[in-house]
Amino acid sequence: MTKLELIDITQSYREAGRKLLAIRDINLTVKNGEFLTIIGPSGSGKTTLLEVIAGLQQPDHGQVLIDGAVAHHRRGQMAYMLQQDALLPWRTVIDNVVLGPEIQGQGRRQAKQRARELLPLFGLEGFADSFPAQLSGGMRQRAAFLRTFLTERDILLLDEPFGALDALTRRDLQAWLLDVWQHFEHTVIFVTHDVEEAIYLSDRVIVLSPRPGQIVEAFDIPFGRPRHETVELFSPEMIALESELFHALKG
Ligand SMILES: Nc1ncnc2c1ncn2[C@@H]1O[C@H](COP(=O)(O)OP(=O)(O)O)[C@@H](O)[C@H]1O
Ligand SMILES: [Mg+2]
């Protein structure tokens, strides 16, 4: 079943009186529960596309449909994790992660209780009352994820969430994210510029051209679920796919 549909999305910015086209004629259908990744070079319009999907920007033209209906007011239907999703340093982990529900005016007590239940799954058991500065980079990022998850939306938009992490932490968090995704059955739109990460995580990978971003190719990823990093990552199929994707990226 189709969850999300983008029809002819084009978006530009005004820069010093000139029109700068960021993305052009994006057509895309995302299935319910799919893990879809958008990959493209820096400046190709990935963040712009996520912002349009999230309803934070109105496109020049084009439409976004959710569950088959034009979604004019869709901010409330998506959880959006920003590229730099920093935690507030003066708030504890628990007070950071309930920020979303708090802003939405939901009961703090109920949100905190739900957050405490989820702390173990997010690898944060025992850290509810710690401050961000006391956590590792990976833990901070999992806390930012928990804050996103607690908004309880069925579409998750994740903008390069692992970009700032070291390679090993990044690998751990990728495997962890897949676990969490299978647990919640969200529809995920994930943005990265890392070829291996895109293939390892996704059901399908969409390649954007350099600006203005257009879809140049789509790859169905043939690996089953759950993924096993030791099997898929070092397989000949993986290496062949990486090479194909890399070439699509390079034009
Ligand atoms: N608010 C803005 N005003 C003007 N230009 C912008 C703005 N945001 C992004 N851009 C430009 O639009 C293009 C796409 O940006 P972005 O969507 O951030 O790409 P990506 O996330 O793929 O790096 C870039 O050339 C960028 O400089
Ligand atoms: Mg970006």
Domain boundaries, given as residue ranges, for the chain? 2-86+154-250
CB 142 within 8 A of CB 123: yes
By the 8 A CB rule, do 181 and 188 touch?
Answer: yes
pLDDT of residue 188: 97
Distance 170 CA to ligand 1 centre (A): 25
> Options 1.10.3720.10, 3.40.190.10, 3.40.50.12500, 3.40.50.300; which CATH number does 2-86+154-250 get?
3.40.50.300
Contact call for residues 124 and 142 (beta carbons, < 8 A): yes
> Average pLDDT over the chain, rounded to whole?
92
What is the widest separation between alpha-carbon atoms in the chain? 53
Instruction: Extract the residue ranges of the chain whose pLDDT is less than 50.
Output: none
pLDDT tens-digit series, residues 58-68: 999 999 999 99
What pTM was estimated for this model as a whole? Answer: 0.94
Q: What is the pLDDT of residue 239?
A: 93
Summarised one tens digit per residue, pLDDT across range 125-139 is 999 999 999 999 999
Atom number of ligand 1 nearest to Cα 160: 21
- Looking at residue 83, its pLDDT comes to 78
Q: Which two tokens stand for residue 251?
A: 């034009």
φ, ψ dihedrals at 250, nearest 5°? -80, -5
Q: Does residue 84's CB lie within 6 angstroms of at least one atom of ligand 1?
A: no
pLDDT at 142: 93
The ligand minimizing its distance to the Cα of 22 is: 1
H helical segments located in 55-118? 93-97, 99-103, 108-118
- Report the alpha-carbon distance of residue 250 to residue 84 in Å, rounded: 26
Q: Ligand 1: does its nearest atom lie under 6 Å from the Cβ of 50?
A: no
